[in-house]
Every structure is written in structure tokens, then in C-alpha cells.
Amino acid sequence: MKDTNIEDFIKVKDLLDSTSLISRIEIVVVREERKFRLEDLLCQRFPALSKMYLREVVKKGSCEVNGRQENIGHRLSANDFVEIEVDLSRQHSMLPEALPIEIVYEDEDLVVVDKPAGMLVHPSHREKNGTLLNALAFHFNRDPARGVIRPGLVHRLDKETSGLIVVAKNQRAHRILCRQFQRKQVEKRYTAIVHGVMSENEGVINGDIGRDAELKFWVLKEGGKASETRFRVLQRKQDTTLVELEPVTGRTNQLRIHCASIGHPIIGDKERGGDASRKLCLHATKLGFRHPADSTDRKLISKPPFSL
């Protein structure tokens, strides 16, 4: 594909006034972009805007293709005319930042990073900078001659959770890796230190997880989504246990919720009874997947930054 530059393809009609930050942008789909999904085109043309925001714009009807509202999966043809209204002031949330990150593996299709505890994976409404995506946007685009590479999130880790995370570097790799995660074809293992001495050497924790509307907190909840975690004890010491956790399902805060539900909250999980004086002792230790380019198995391992 030819190198794409937003100024080469986009004609901006400035609608800014004293109260509005929205710009109407017109895009003509070029030959190299035919058969793109609408979402992929917008991500390509607006690399500094978050995918979540662009999806919201399409969902609320602020994007038309040839005068019609289409969904994010709509396939485009050459010379299609796309009109979209976006807030370009939100671009700073994906600006490149020269932040230190530990690259475990990288090639033309993907990168695996050992994320430190305390770093958000992607910008939020409250925190716009200092995230893993900001760091990767800088790392991927140090050579402007190669064209813009947009970090493609495949899965996430909580801010306080450290460990391995894979990020795609192109649309094909992103789609294939996302499919593997959705079909539970990815091997994921976490290491954690929990309060108390677990009596069983291994077992399974089940429970429905949902969001408590009043507390604005993810909890075990009747009518929530089914979830399952397998655990295996690695080491016991006094009043703590080192365990390996396998999230069979991938619900929000699942590992924290499940450990707390059996009376063994993860150390550092202050919201669920963990020792608040320590950092969260939860680390994504193992990650296995099939490479999107050749389907070969790749397995990465990271040592936890904590021990008993």
C-alpha cells in the first residue's frame, strides 16, 4: 500500500466557532483502500484518534458513505465518498510519547511488551497521556519514511497489572489475533500472590460477573456473565500463597474477583480486601498464540516482579 498522508486525501471544511470543536471531513476512497472495512479506513486516516472514539462517531450516525449511514464493518469501494464529523482536538490522546517500554518480541506484524504496573494500556477520559499506546505510537513511527503504523489493541491488562501483552502492527494481524482471543485459542497464564494459605493444590473458580450500578464496581452478580478461572498453587509461605491463574473466560477484573470470592484476595487489591500497602501482585506471565503471518506457535514468558 502506498504511504498515506491525511493531508493528501482529506479536505477539511472548518466548522469551528466559539462553541464547537467539530470538523466535517470529506474522504475519497483510493484504489489501495478498496475492500477496506469502514472502521479500518477511519483508523488509517486518523491514526491519532482512538478506535473507540471513531466507533462511537459511526454508531451515532456522524459518518456517511455515499450519503448513507453504514456500520463499521461496511466494505468500501474505490471512489466511495465518505463524510464524517469528528473532534480533531481529541487527537492528543494518541500522540506519540518517548516512554520507556520493555519489548519482549517484535516483527513486522506484532509486538509483545512486558507492561509495567501502573501504566494504562490506552488513554481514558481522565488520563490522556503516558499510556502503552502512546509509547508504542512513538516506537512504531520513529522512521517517517515507513508510513504511519497504528498500534492495534488485541486484549488489555488492568493499569496495576503487569506482564505480557501483544499489540498488532497492521490490520490483518489485528483481525487474526482478535479472532484467536474471541475463540479462546490463546494461552494465558498469570502469577499472583494471595492472602492466606490455600488448602487445595489446584481447582476451578466459577461465578457470574456483572457491574454494580450503584457502586460502579465489577462484582459477582446474579444475571452477570459466566466466568471461570483455573488455579494451581506454586508455593505456600506463612499466611500467603503464590498461585498460577488461568482465565478460561476474560471478564473485567475476573482474577481479582474470583480470588477474593474464595477468601484469598490478591495482595495489593485494596478494593477487595488486599493489603493496600503493597502494589498489586498480579503479573501476566505466559502468553501463547499462533502467529498471524504463518500460523506458527509462539510462546512468551515473563518473570513476575515479585516473589514470596
Catalytic residue numbers read 158
**What is the C-alpha to C-alpha distance for residues 67 and 293, in angstroms, rounded to an integer?**
37
Contact between residue 276 and residue 270 where contact means Cβ atoms under 8 Å apart? yes
Q: How many CB atoms lie within 10 A of CB 97?
A: 15
- Tell me the pairing of strands 68-69 and 102-106: unpaired
Contacts by 38-42 with C-beta closer than 8 Å and gap 24+? 38/63, 38/65, 38/70, 38/71, 38/72, 38/73, 38/74, 38/76, 38/82, 39/72, 39/73, 40/171, 41/76, 41/82, 42/84
